[in-house]
Amino acid sequence: MGILVYAEHDNSTIKGATLNVVTAAAKIGGDITVLVAGKGCGAAAEAAAKIAGVSKVLVADNDAYSHQLAENVADLVAELGKGYSHILIPATTTGKNFAPRVAALLDAEQISEIITVESADTFKRPIYAGNAIATVQSSDSVKVITVRATGFDAAAAEGGSASVEAVDVAKDAGVSSFVSEELAKSDRPELTAAKIVISGGRGMQNGDNFEMLYKVADKLGAAVGASRAAVDAGFVPNDMQVGQTGKIVAPQLYIAVGISGAIQHLAGMKDSKVIVAINKDEEAPIFQVADYGLVADLFEAIPELDKQI
């Protein structure tokens, strides 16, 4: 039957999360087909064909898919997906937007954000902000699944030589249209792909003070994140939020600065390999998950850290 993997891409390159989803597909077992839907996405399709373990790439190149509108993409994926045993979609905001539509169109119960493949029909997924892990078994004939990237290693981006095939199903559902987008520009690595993440919380006091974290981040090649409290207070934009409802990260090193450690924040970072917490409140819950805790005023500790690295 085979597995259909939906590629997250920017028309020219494949986004990292796609590689983790390919690994999840390989664990399920079966031929892996990657679908690249977009407008002018030929280069992304070529890149997808090189991913190790992929046997076929389908390209749907059409105006209807240029902004990944859920209504149009879901119709396409549901139509193509009928012939597969599993449809795997990255649990990014793009994937989470259209995947349930696909499931509903196929009358399937979606399995959200799997972190482990136990067998072809059994998966593990976090519930209650990661405070419990459920093992679930699906009986749907086509299994629609979103994959949490941090649960799986990335497949090799090079080494494959899949065939590329154009699909000409293209339909605009006609109920939605793209107006505009406002994307953050940064020279730092993407939060979800960075090896080191340094995040600030309410303790940062204002947006200007994040400059201290940016300086340290640039020395370490790190991405900068934030707690919900810092985003809600307007210190930094929403795309920096790490947590249950923000981004899920699992870097080699996570440095939490002035973050108390609400369970909703821990849900987004507790699978990091090494966690450092810097907080002046020694009772802060963040210290319960930290490998290295430093009880200190961040306004003294961060400039000092900046000097020493």
Near other proteins in 210-239, by CB under 8 A: 220, 228, 231-232, 237-239
| Closer residue to other proteins in complex, CB, 55/122 | 122
Residue 57 three-state SS:
strand
CA separation for the pair 226, 72 (Å, rounded) = 33
- For the bound state, the minimum distance from the C-beta of residue 3 to other proteins, rounded and expressed in Å, comes to 18
Question: Could you say which of 211, 245, 281, 297 contacts other proteins (CB under 8 A)?
Answer: 245
Q: At what angle do helices 93-105 and 70-81 cross, to 10 degrees?
A: 50
CA separation (Å) from 308 to 87, 183, 274, 301, 305?
48, 33, 19, 10, 5
CA separation for the pair 20, 57 (Å, rounded) = 16
Near other proteins in 157-216, by CB under 8 A: 173-184, 192, 196
- For the bound state, the minimum distance from the C-beta of residue 246 to other proteins, rounded and expressed in Å, comes to 9
CA separation (Å) from 156 to 9, 45, 115, 160, 182?
16, 16, 19, 8, 31
- For the bound state, the minimum distance from the C-beta of residue 107 to other proteins, rounded and expressed in Å, comes to 7
Binding of residue 292 to other proteins (CB under 8 A): yes
Binding of residue 156 to other proteins (CB under 8 A): no
- For the bound state, the minimum distance from the C-beta of residue 159 to other proteins, rounded and expressed in Å, comes to 27
Q: Which stretch binds other proteins (CB under 8 A): 36-44, 79-87, 155-163, 295-303?
A: 295-303
| Closer residue to other proteins in complex, CB, 1/127 | 127
Binding of residue 136 to other proteins (CB under 8 A): yes
Near other proteins in 36-55, by CB under 8 A: none
Residue 75 three-state SS:
helix
Q: Transcribe 247-258 into DSSP letters.
A: B----SEEEEES
Question: Could you say which of 43, 104, 156, 167 contacts other proteins (CB under 8 A)?
Answer: 104
Question: Could you say which of 165, 281, 291, 297 contacts other proteins (CB under 8 A)?
Answer: 291
Give Rg (Cα) of the chain: 20
Binding of residue 12 to other proteins (CB under 8 A): no
| Closer residue to other proteins in complex, CB, 56/270 | 270
How far does the chain reach from its first CA to its final CA, in angstroms? 52
Binding of residue 296 to other proteins (CB under 8 A): yes
Strands (E), 13-80: 32-38, 56-61
